[in-house]
Amino acid sequence: MGEVHVFRESGYLGAEGRRIPASEPLEPEGGAWLLSPGFYKAVFMDAVHIPENTVATCFPRSSLLRMGALLGCAVWDPGYRGRGEALLVVGNPHGIRIEVGARIAQLVFIRLYPQLGERYSGVYQGERLAREQV
């Protein structure tokens, strides 16, 4: 876990466009976030590069599930580079505490045959990476 954000407005997803809602990072206290029940944006600490002949998906670690929280992830496309995001849903009525740097997800890679003709070049390419990392 690299960052935890709270949503500050509504989002929009249409047939031809989208507007991702503004969010604000929460500051950890004593090296951890104490999260009440609700919905949060989880920003991963580690940057990834998905090879061009591979897709990936992430799953929550079982410890996260056992403490009453879920992680919603999407497919990570071939060629994606960046520090991705997921939706963290805290369902435990008593909340949860997560340390900065704690492992919350497992990334699973799936090799594609034959290799796709184009790699990912969408709006999220290079998110949260310095220009030289893209």
Q: pLDDT of 43-60, one tens digit each? A: 999 999 999 899 999 999
What is the pLDDT at residue 117? 63
pLDDT, averaged across the chain: 93
CA dist 69 and 15 (Å) reads: 31
Q: Write out the residue range of the structural domain in which residue 105 sits.
A: 3-133
- Dump pLDDT digits (tens) for 107-125: 999 998 876 566 777 888 8
CB atoms within 10 A of CB 106: 13
Look up tokens 């340390």; give the residue: 99
Number of separate domains in the chain: 1
CATH at residue 27: 2.70.40.10
Q: What is the pTM of this model?
A: 0.85
> Contact 23/62 with Cβ under 8 angstroms?
no
